[in-house]
């Protein structure tokens, strides 16, 4: 009976009562080529889990430009180029200051890193690490982001 009610909820009133997903833009920062390609992960400020730089849209900036700005502010990425189109998307529940969670859809832009500096806006709030795609997939929590890293791993090995 419980599974029948869950099924009914998922297809009718549930979607009608859910709030729409909010949008964030993320930078999948990388350096190197082929099997030597590495990806930059940073820690979140609240829980310290491994993530990629991301943030809310910025008025006046294109989506990929916002991803670059977030890469600068959160990881010290400089002299970099972001693709014009996203390479993937993942969703997660963002915990708000109120304690409530809101669903967020995150567009991911590939960012070729030209430089990295130690003094950046959030340098005292985050750690960063370069890892290969397979390791990155194991370190992040979001299943769809794991899939993006695994796809990048397959591309670099082909």
Residue range 15-65, pLDDT digits in tens: 555 556 899 999 999 999 988 999 999 999 988 999 999 999 999 999 999
For residue 99, is it within any domain?
Answer: yes
For residue 37, is it within any domain?
Answer: yes
For residue 13, is it within any domain?
Answer: no
Split at pLDDT 50, 70, 90, the class of 157 is confident
* Total tally of structural domains belonging to the chain: 1
Question: How confident is the model at residue 15, as a pLDDT?
Answer: 53
pLDDT at 148 exceeding the cut of 60: yes
Identify which has the larger pLDDT, 85 or 12. Answer: 85
Question: How confident is the model at residue 96, as a pLDDT?
Answer: 81
pLDDT at 127 exceeding the cut of 90: yes
Give the list of residues 6+ apart from residue 142 with CB closer than 8 angstroms, or none. 90, 91, 92
CB-based burial, 82-98: b 16+ in 10 Å, e otherwise: beeebebebebebeeee
Contact predicate 72/119, CB 8 Å: no
Question: Looking at residue 140, which CATH number applies to its domain?
Answer: 3.90.79.10
For residue 3, is it within any domain?
Answer: no
Split at pLDDT 50, 70, 90, the class of 99 is confident
Give the list of residues 6+ apart from residue 38 with CB closer than 8 angstroms, or none. 30, 31, 32, 130, 131, 132
Residue 43 is part of which domain span? 19-157
pLDDT, averaged across the chain: 90
For residue 26, is it within any domain?
Answer: yes
Question: How confident is the model at residue 71, as a pLDDT?
Answer: 98
For residue 14, is it within any domain?
Answer: no
For residue 137, is it within any domain?
Answer: yes
pLDDT tens for 104-121 read 999 999 999 999 999 999
pLDDT at 12 exceeding the cut of 90: no
Identify which has the larger pLDDT, 9 or 96. Answer: 96
């Amino acid at each position: 009976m419980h599974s029948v009610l869950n099924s009914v909820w998922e297809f009718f009133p549930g979607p009608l009562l859910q709030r729409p997903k909010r949008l964030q833009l993320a930078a999948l920062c990388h350096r190197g080529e082929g099997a030597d390609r590495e990806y930059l992960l940073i820690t979140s400020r609240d829980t310290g889990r491994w993530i990629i730089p991301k943030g809310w849209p910025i008025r006046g900036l294109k989506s990929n430009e916002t991803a670059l700005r977030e890469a600068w502010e959160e990881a010290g990425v400089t002299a970099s180029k972001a693709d014009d189109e996203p390479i993937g998307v993942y969703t997660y529940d963002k915990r708000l200051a109120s304690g409530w969670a809101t669903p967020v859809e995150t567009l991911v832009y590939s960012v070729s890193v030209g430089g990295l500096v130690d003094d950046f806006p959030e340098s005292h709030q985050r750690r960063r690490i370069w890892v290969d795609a397979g390791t990155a997939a194991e370190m992040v929590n979001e299943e769809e982001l794991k899939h993006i890293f695994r796809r990048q791993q397959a591309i670099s090995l082909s």
